[in-house]
Amino acid sequence: MSRSRLVIWTIIGFVAFLAGVWAFWPRAVMVDTAEVVRGPMEVSITEEGEARVRDLFVVSAPATGYLNRIEIDPGECVTAGTSRLADIHSPTATIQDVRTQAQLRAAVDSARAALRMADADVRLRQTEFDQVLADRERMRRLARTGTVSTQALERAEANATSHMAALAAATSARDVARFEVTRAEAALMPANAAFGDGVVSLTSPVTGVVLRVMRDSEGPIAAGTPIMEIGASTDLEVVVDVLSEDAVRIQTGTKVRVRGWGGDPQWAYVERVEPYAFTKVSALGIEEQRTNVIVRFDFAMPGLGHGYRVRADILIWEASDVIRVPMSALFKTTSGWTVYKIERGRAKLRPVSLGRMNGRQAEVLNGLGAGDMVVQHPSSALEDGVKVQAREASKEANSSERPVSGETTPPVTPYDPCDTLNDAFALENTLDPSRLVEGEDTQGNQPERRP
């Protein structure tokens, strides 16, 4: 073999060796990274809620009758004792079929015949009574002359008294027969004939806004039927049902951020936690014990109405300066909570001591510092000391990340659809900060509401 061929094969062998080394050389694992930052943090209970008018009045029919068409539309303003809501007339006769009409006509004829019989009986009793009176007068004259005995006179007096009572009974029976005729004729009246001209006018029991009209069509109505709902649209509250195990951590006066209602998030506070829990089946079919938490605003909410859906973040703890790490970077080992910290391009296992958690972030008490980089969603390919490389998308996310802080909302302009309600409700532009007192964040105290 010539010298030149030996050199060529030597070069080829060396290149193949380098290629094998490069092919089997350990490569960096592509990972998603996140930065450990310092800033504000909060722990809240987030649930869906429903806005409702604080004092809701349901106007119902006080009596059975015929309702006129409701001319008031939802959203209109009404004044207590002045605004006329509806008119209910006396009820009309019911529609009768052919058989019923025949029976009623027969009842009328029977009542009239009974009246004629009663008239004849009264005339008979009157004639007998007149004859008895004449006999009594004759017996009285004969008794004065001694022609008849005293006993005969007494029998004549008793006979006159009994016939007078019989005449009175016959007269009463005739009156009863006359009333029966009136009742039978009334039952035969046409369906469009009213029994009377009485009208019951319903006025508003409270100054507010008509929220809903349940019955606006004209027609018969039964007593107790709801007609409309009225309330003060500026005096709203939010009812949030939370798990009973979360309700024990909520205190009166706790701050609540209301969002997801179509406008900017607004601050409110917990007015009360109802002491009664109820069973509710979740979307997964699991029975849960839940409790209603009533949330109040200190200002009007323009655009928010009765029955609107909202999301409420009930703050049970917050701090302004803590070191926090994403929950996606944490996992548990035998030694506790652990993260993969990136040091000089390699992933290093580091145990950490955690404080509060909110589902997205965790408070770091020991083990990490602000500015440290950690691996998010660590896979089974990662081991202690493995070389890693951050993905480009992860770098961009870290560069654009901003600390999570308390949301500031612009002042809410007082809103009242009725000018007449402005004097009844004191509306404020913003939440009164003097009514809320923050507890010591580092101690985890709950905010409390001053009386």
Q: How confident is the model at residue 385 (pLDDT cuts 50, 70, 90)?
A: confident
Segments making up each domain of the chain, as ranges: 30-51+233-449, 60-91+204-231, 98-187
Q: How many C-beta neighbours within 10 Å does residue 413 have?
A: 10
| Residues whose CB is less than 8 angstroms from the CB of residue 252 and which lie 6 or more positions away in sequence, other chains included | 270, 271, 272, 273, 448, 449
Instruction: Tell me the pLDDT band of 156, cut-offs 50, 70 and 90.
Output: confident
pLDDT of residue 281: 92
Name the burial class of residue 26, with classes exposed (0-12), middle (13-18) and buried (19+) by CB atoms within 10 angstroms of its CB: exposed
CA geometry: angle at 439 spanning 438 and 440, to 5°? 125
* pLDDT higher than 70, residue 399: no
Gap between the Cα atoms of 163 and 23, Å rounded: 138
Domain 98-187 indexed as CATH 1.10.287: yes
Sheet holding 219-221, edge to edge: 199-203, 84-89, 65-67, 219-221
Distance, in Å, from the CA atom of 78 to the CA atom of 350, rounded to the nearest integer, reads 67
* pLDDT computed for residue 429 by the predictor: 37
pLDDT at residue 210 in the model: 92
Mean pLDDT (the chain) is: 82
* CATH code matching the domain that covers 60-91+204-231, chosen among 2.40.50.100, 2.40.50.140, 1.10.10.10, 3.30.230.10: 2.40.50.100
Lowest mean pLDDT among 79-83, 115-119, 367-371, 389-393: 389-393
- Work out whether strand 287-296 and strand 236-243 pair parallel, antiparallel, or are unpaired: antiparallel
Residue 416 has pLDDT above 60, yes or no: no
Q: Could you say which architecture CATH assigns to the domain 30-51+233-449?
A: Beta Barrel (2.40)
State how far the Cα of 365 lies from the Cα of 357, in Å rounded to an integer.
12
What is residue 46's predicted lDDT score, i.e. its pLDDT? Answer: 93
Task: Judge contact between 60 and 224, C-beta under 8 A.
Answer: yes
Mean pLDDT, rounded, for 230-251: 92
- Measured CA angle at 378 (ends 377, 380), to 5 deg: 135
Answer whether residue 241 shows pLDDT above 50: yes
Residues of the chain with pLDDT > 70, as a percent, come to: 81
pLDDT-above-90 percentage for the chain: 43
- Model pLDDT, residue 434: 42
Query: By the 8 A CB rule, do 230 and 209 touch?
Result: yes
60-91+204-231 and 98-187 share one CATH topology? Answer: no
pLDDT of residue 275: 93
| Phi/psi of residue 172, nearest 5 degrees | -65, -40
Task: Return the bridge partners of 312, or none.
Answer: 47, 258
pLDDT surpassing 70 at residue 420: no
- Over residues 219-226, mean pLDDT: 91
What is the arithmetic mean of pLDDT over 432-450?
Answer: 39
Measured CA to CA, the distance from residue 84 to residue 87 in angstroms comes to 8
Predicted confidence band at 257 (pLDDT cuts at 50, 70, 90)?
very high
For the chain, the first-to-last Cα distance in angstroms comes to: 104
Q: Quick one: pLDDT band at residue 408, thresholds 50, 70, 90? A: very low
- pLDDT for 197: 59
- As a whole number, mean pLDDT of residues 281-304 equals 90
| pTM of this prediction exceeds 0.85 | no
Chain-centroid distance of CA 154 in Å reads 84
Q: Strand, coil or helix: what is 235?
A: coil
Instruction: Read off the pLDDT of residues 43-87 as tens digits, 9 standing for 90 and up.
Output: 999 999 999 998 899 999 998 888 999 999 998 999 988 899 999
What region, left, alpha or beta, does residue 216 occupy, with left being phi > 0 and alpha being psi -120 to 50 degrees?
alpha
CA 239 to chain centre: 8
Average pLDDT on 267-283 reads 93
Contact 225/60 with Cβ under 8 angstroms?
A: yes
More confident residue, 17 or 344: 344
User: Is the predicted pLDDT of residue 5 greater than 90, yes or no?
Assistant: no
Q: What does the pLDDT average to over 23-40?
A: 81
Give the pLDDT score at 195: 47
Task: Determine the average pLDDT of the residues in 217-232.
Answer: 91
Query: Residue 394's pLDDT band (boundaries 50, 70, 90)?
Result: low
The alpha carbon of 233 is separated from its chain's Cα centroid by a whole number of angstroms, namely 14
Provide the 3-class DSSP secondary structure of residue 199.
strand
Give the per-residue pLDDT at 186: 80
- Does the structure show a pLDDT above 90 at 228? yes
